[in-house]
Structure 1
Amino acid sequence: MTLVRNHRLPLSGNKYKLLILSVVFLAAACSPKTHPVATSPKPQPVVPPAKAIEKPVNKPTAKLPPPVLQSQKVSSISMLLPLNLDNLNPGGKYSKADMQKANMGVEYYQGFKLALDSLTANGYNYRLQLFDSKDIPAEAHNLSLNPKIRNSDLIVGPIFPDGIKAFGVGGKPLLSPLSPSSPAGFHNPDLITVIPPLAYHARRSAQYVFERLKAKKVFILKSGFSEENKYITPFKQQMDSLSKLKTKVVPFVVVRGSLTALLPQLSKTEPNVFVMPSTNQAFLQVTLRSLDTLAKNYPIVLIGHPSWEKLSFLKEDLLQRLKTVITSSDHVNYKSGSMVAFIKAYRKAYHLEPSEFAIKGFDEGLYFGRVLAEDETGAIKPEQHDFEGLHNDFHFVKKPGTGWVNTHVYILKYVNFELKAIE
């Protein structure tokens, strides 16, 4: 049973609708008056994602035992989302930024809640409490002292890095649901980072270059900004480790798009692998044109930054000519049976199309809801269960002092002028 009522609510950018939504949330979910009830509510329709199955990491063919119906265990979950409900006070007003954050929080909540509703049909029980973090670090710190939150089995949020840092270490699993920030900066051994940080994208790219492309030399095209080192450093470390220093990594600062100095090192028979960790529009446009010219005489494979997927100024035809490959932690197949089932269930529950935040909320609710419910030791262990979700797979590793990190990222390649997952 989930103890937050499932309201079917409209949601759009319209301020009036958001305010109505927030009022209902305040009354139904934020209050500390939530209590378990003796009887289970009527089970919600189960959303059966075909791939959303947990598997022990070392036993890929085994499955968790079937759930025991009507379990007496009640798993307690507290969610800290930036609803900014103070804007409902007389004279208050939502700014555009506050509106976007509130919408993000509501959409994530709705996906997460739908997942718990699906699990309750299998006999699992949950106590779900929702709190407004207001996207204010001081408020996140105050919430960390709330006994109802501290006594939860799982704390979801805050969403943004400053809130996570301000919340601090509380001795309970703290789920960072949407941020790819490196957990190293939080020093929280109970943190669970679901969205893979940039370093894991860089390492996965290096693995692809070494194992699939079998490159003997890799050129890293730099713009000169130090921000790019967040990608370059783990890429080179992984490449050096995998190749035992046999693959040469050549950093090269590109000035005004000129690649002439590299010509003596290029091969006309084997693929020349270029890595571009930049997201700067001016630099990319000039340098990509130079690479496109170079590709007329030299075979080229380009490894791009994961953010390229959302950069509208990049041209698909050019990237396809350069045989571009990027990594991604978010790849949804809208034609899959599991995704179609989820969309139908979400529409039925909320009369809305699910956003990316709703999809992520559903995946995370389904995974952590079941891990909590089936845990017998009182301490969840994400590293023991893999998961194939709608937006990404989960493969957690435990890092000393920084908690659990999901390391799974997709390899995407431009095929027929669109990105398709190849690994």
Structure 2
Amino acid sequence: MTSVQNLLLPLNGNRVYLILIFLMWLGLGCSPKTTIPPSNKVVQQATKNIKDTVPEEIVQKYPDTLVWKNVSDQYPPIISPEEINIQEKVIPSYSKGEKVFLKKKYFLSLLIPLKSNQYTNSSLASNRFVQFYAGALLALEDLERNNLHLEINITDTEYPGFSAQKFMDSIDYTKTDLIIGPFEREDLKIVTGEALKKQITVISPWQTSTKIAKENDFYVQLKPNLKEHFIKITENVCSLYNRGEVTVITHNNQEGKAWFNYFSETAQKITGNKSYLNHFTVSEDSLQSPNTAFVRMFSTNPPKAVILPYYSYNDEEKLYSVVRRLSADKGKKEVFVYGMPLLHDSERIDYEYYSTLNVRIAISDFMDESKYEVKNFKKRYYDMFGEIAGHDAVKGYDVFMFIGKNLEEYGSKFQEHIISQRQNYLMSDFEIHKSVSDEEKSRVNIDFDFFENKQIQIIEFRDSGFKVID
């Protein structure tokens, strides 16, 4: 575990080494509070026209520190909040008539699977969690510029010997306002349970489940669960199509039947009609045989829209087979195909299918590449790290901007004050609501189990790209 009181230095040129050097240092177990200077190579690349004295390197099998001297004032070292005399002053503020307490400085713990003990330039540069962390650094830079002081403790949950229980047993609760992560579901259950006892808010950027927490108003899930995507699709089709015009396509198995039943029940709640949606099942054999999979469906009373509920990467091949046969069997008939984020993210699905099938997708994270803010972020990211910002880099930025802005406005238990408020960021929109665990919905007089982001958009493929339509 290491503490980061501030940011890596904003230098020009190839900057992936900034992250790699930091993660190597992280994995080798340095002292908990250490400034993070740029690597010797990076300084040389970025300051060719600046006559600075570069650092003396201490090369050991297990280095504890790097000794630096005569670093230019243009790149001053990062100093701790204690050194710049930031006080933990509690300031009363008001939100919707309720008193909240704002601190001058907040202590955050980020639990993230960086695999820093397995570092190589190529593997870490492409690691989705390294990209998430790098995006977070840019957010921290922006927040610091707005005088929000955050002290971040980073724990690599993939480092040998990590235990969620041991981490929670050893954490300094007096210096922990909020925990982000971890990624693994079982670790997250442990962390949320222990954090509830100490009344520390836990933010989960990655997991989507209704079974993590029970009666825990300190747990916030930023990724909407599967059924929220189903609900969004059903609401959209019910607003655009009449009874019998929409068909749910699944494989002929128990999971497929369960999916259809949920869509059908949701449509009934919206329209009052028990048979608003149709159900069509396929098999592996029919998908592999020409002119057998969907010919019957399109021959008489063809649907105007179909829904493909496939969401797991385990179902990617099934989804691809369905899309391929739909495209072939529909002929010249127009149909709109609704799907889950997998339909957007899968590398098996070509853009030709998006256009031919008028694809619409329920998605919580959508990046509009044409937006100025997105272009500017990607330029900043490339200038700092020398890498192209991917989905996870933008996600890291959005998550930490969301956390930082709400800490600044409402304090460490901000989730209570932002219910139903829609907040828009580069890629992610957040609208926090109270949710109940599926396993506990039969309980009497239950208020809620956890907070969850329920903001989902419908995007449609138009003119060679996806656009938000709902």
After TM superposition, the structure 1 = structure 2 runs for residues 337-376 of structure 1, keeping only pairs within 5 Å, are 337-375=372-410
Partner-residue secondary structure (3-state), 1:22: helix
Matches within 5 A, 1:1-400: 3-7=5-9, 20-25=21-26, 31=32, 36-37=81-82, 39=84, 73-85=104-116, 87=117, 93=118, 99=123, 103-134=127-158, 139-148=163-172, 151-169=175-193, 170-171=195-196, 172-179=200-207, 181-187=208-214, 189=216, 190-228=218-256, 231-245=259-273, 247-255=275-283, 256-257=286-287, 258-262=293-297, 266-267=301-302, 272-278=304-310, 280=315, 283-296=318-331, 298-375=333-410, 380-381=415-416, 382-383=418-419, 385-400=421-436
Q: TM-score, normalised by structure 1?
A: 0.76
Which residue among 444, 455, 464 is the counterpart of 1:408? 455
Q: Cα gap change, 1:245/1:119 in structure 2, threshold over 3 Å: closer, same or farther?
A: same
Contact kept, 8 Å, 2:124 with 2:130, in 1: the verdict is no
Cα pair 2:369 2:375 within 8 Å, conserved = yes
More displaced stretch, 117-126 vs 376-385: 376-385
Give the Cα separation in 2 of the matches to 1:150 and 1:133. Answer: 22
How many Å apart are 1:163 and its aligned residue?
2.4
Give the aligned partner of residue 67 of structure 2: none
* Amino acid aligned to 2:145: A
CA contact (8 A) 1:273 1:300 kept: yes
Give 1 or 2 for the bigger CA radius of gyration: 2
Q: 1:417 to 1:350 in 2, by over 3 A?
A: closer
Q: Is the 8 A contact 1:266 1:298 kept in 2?
A: no
Q: Is the 8 A contact 1:304 1:325 kept in 2?
A: yes
Counterpart CA distance in 2 for 1:377 and 1:116 is 17
TM-score w.r.t. length of structure 2: 0.70
Contact 1:72 1:125 in 2 (8 A): no
Give the match's secondary structure for 1:205: helix
Structure 1 residue aligned with 2:43 = none
Cross-structure match for 1:90:
none
1:198 alignment partner AA: L
Secondary structure in 2 aligned to 1:296? coil
CA deviation profile, 1:73-114 (whole Å, cap 9, x unmatched): 2111111111334x3xxxxx5599x94699333322222232
Moved more, 21-30 or 298-307: 21-30
Percent of matched pairs sharing the same residue: 19
Report the CA distance shift for 1:313/1:147 in structure 2 as closer, same or farther (over 3 A): closer
The one-character-per-residue Cα deviations of 1:317-341 (angstroms, maximum 9, x if unpaired) are 3342332212122211223121233
1:418 aligns with 2:465: yes
Structure 2 contact 20–124 (Cα < 8 Å) conserved:
no
User: Which structure exhibits the higher relative contact order, with contacts defined as CA atoms closer than 8 Å and separated by 6 or more residues?
Assistant: 1
- Measure the CA separation in 2 of the matches of 1:212 and 1:134: 47
> Which 4+ stretches in 1 moved above 6 angstroms?
27-30
| Letter in structure 2 aligned against 1:81 | I
What one-letter code is carried by the residue in structure 1 that aligns with 2:308? M
1:153/1:372 contact within 8 Å kept: no
Q: Distance in 1 between the 2:464 and 2:31 partners?
A: 46
In structure 2, distance between residues paired with 1:351 and 1:308: 30
**Alpha carbons of structure 1 residues 285 and 317: separation in structure 2 relative to 1, 3 Å:** same
Amino acid across the alignment from 1:305: M
Question: Structure 2 stretches of 5 or more lacking a match?
Answer: 35-78, 87-94, 97-101, 288-292, 437-447
Query: Which sits farther off after the overlay, 25-34 or 285-294?
Result: 25-34
Secondary structure of 2:129's counterpart equals helix
Q: Distance in 1 between matches of 2:30 and 2:226?
A: 34
Between the two proteins, the alignment pairs up a number of residues equal to 381
Distance in 2 separating the partners of 1:19 and 1:162: 28
Q: Is the 8 A contact 1:323 1:414 kept in 2?
A: yes
The alpha-carbon distance between structure 1 residues 407 and 365, as it changes in their structure 2 partners (threshold 3 A), is same
SS in structure 2 of the partner of residue 352 of structure 1: coil
Q: Which amino acid aligns with 1:369?
A: G
> Judging changes above 3 Å, is the alpha-carbon distance between structure 1 residues 7 and 31 closer, same or farther for their aligned structure 2 residues?
farther
Please state whether the residue corresponding to 2:326 is helix, strand or coil.
helix
Please report the RMSD computed on the Cα atoms of aligned residues, expressed in angstroms. 3.7
Provide closer, same or farther for how the CA distance between residues 285 and 389 of structure 1 changes in structure 2, counting only shifts above 3 A.
closer
Which residue is 2:57 aligned to? none
Distance in 2 between residues matched to 1:360 and 1:350, nearest whole Å: 16
User: What is the DSSP-based 3-state SS (H/G/I as helix, E as strand, rest coil) of the residue aligned with 2:155?
Assistant: strand
Residues 265-322 of structure 1: CA deviation (Å, up to 9, x unaligned): 625xxx5322222364554455445434553365422222320112222233334233
